[in-house]
Amino acid sequence: MSAVRVHCPAHITLLFSIHDTDNRSSHQGSRGAGFCVEAGVSVTAEISEQSSKEDGVDVSSQVKVWDRVESLIDHERESSFYSMYHDIAEHFRDSGYIDESDSVNLEVRLELPCSQGFGMSAAGHLAAAEAYIRVLEIDDSVSAAGLAHDMERRRSTGLGDVLAISAGGVELRLEPGAPPEPGVVTGFASDAPVLLVWSPGEGRHTSGYIDSLDWRDSISVAGEAAVERLRQGQWNADRWSELLEESHLFAEESGLLAEPERKALLANVNEAIEQSAQADDICACLCMLGVSAVIVPRSLESPVGEDILEQLGEQLRACGLGTQVTRIAPLQS
């Protein structure tokens, strides 16, 4: 079979609560809200014939990962970028889907930085799982989303990103768990441009928060209260301004805004916004759980153009921050 390419959008969490006490990974996850963005992870999978062992080393899946500036990530120095894809390969090999004489080679291209609250591990897991399923011509009995969610929970790299990505658009996660069930999510459509901003070198690993008793309590109390308010009424574009307000409230009440690195980043971003001609039309929200923020329109009916966001991005890059313009991703069919 010819090569298969799968692209998966990334996901911005604006608020959430933690639900991971069930022994079944499929029932773990989060309630919360956020939106998916077009930039994410692309995975190309191709089958090649070769021995599954070379000098005693398993090569049933050869993986190459490129970062957002098209540089090949070194396997030895950044092994975490590769291990998640090898784990997926091991799953399909152990399940008997990969013939002993075949190798499934993956080329992974990251369009955003990792560990910055952009849901890149979920996007990578989901894109890779779907690429394997397509290239191996596996029937519908295997769920890419279910596998990706399981991998996220096993590695403690995420809670509800896979569920959110399965909906697309601007999403509200009503019940935790894997898609299509027991997780419950709803979404509404928008294609508004947004500007992602992050502090290079200040990434955060999700497990540092969801595995901490202190953080778990403060995050979940604030997140549950926010979701309880957002789930009242119909979830549609009229709720956008309410979502932004809840995002700001969650950042404060959870204590996440109080961390010095996040506070400094948001201050720099807000200063740049205040100095722009579009200060009344845009605002910044923290991305959970990176040292990052997203600049969004205050109204989805009158979003600012990509060119304006690019100019703002240039100013922020001059301050040493990373930036990238993207758009809210479409709803998933």
Q: Find the CATH number of the domain harbouring 75.
A: 3.30.230.10
Residue span of the structural domain in which 41 resides: 4-187
Contact in structure between 204 and 117 (CB atoms under 8 Å) = yes
52 and 104 fall within a common domain: yes
* Confidence (pLDDT) at 279: 95
In a domain, 12, yes or no: yes
- CB atoms inside a 10 Å sphere around CB 128: 29
The model's pLDDT over 203-213, given as tens digits with 9 standing for 90+, comes to: 666 777 877 77
42 and 134 fall within a common domain: yes
Phi, psi of 161, deg, nearest 5? -65, -40
Residues 6+ apart with CB under 8 A from 16: 30, 31, 32, 33, 34, 159, 160, 173, 219, 223, 288
Domain end (from 170, 187, 204)? 187
* Confidence (pLDDT) at 133: 96
The structural domain count of the chain equals 2
In order along the chain (333 residues), what is the average pLDDT of each group of 10 residues? Answer: 93 97 96 98 90 46 90 85 91 89 91 95 97 94 94 93 98 97 98 97 73 86 98 98 98 95 96 95 95 97 96 96 98 89
In a domain, 333, yes or no: no
165 and 35 fall within a common domain: yes
Element (H, E) at 222: helix 213-230
169 and 196 fall within a common domain: no
* Confidence (pLDDT) at 333: 74
214 and 311 fall within a common domain: yes
Handedness of CA 219, 224, 230, 231 (dihedral sign): positive
* Confidence (pLDDT) at 1: 66
Domain end (from 187, 217, 252)? 187
On average, the pLDDT of the chain sits at 92
Domain end (from 117, 152, 187)? 187
* Confidence (pLDDT) at 61: 66
In a domain, 332, yes or no: no
What is the model's pTM?
A: 0.93
161 and 12 fall within a common domain: yes
250 and 303 fall within a common domain: yes
Q: Which string of DSSP letters, residue by residue, matches 247-288?
A: HHHHHHHTSGGGSHHHHHHHHHHHHHHHTSTTTTTEEEEEPS
* Confidence (pLDDT) at 324: 98
Find how far residue 278's CA is from the centre of its chain: 28
Q: Find the CATH number of the domain harbouring 308.
A: 3.30.70
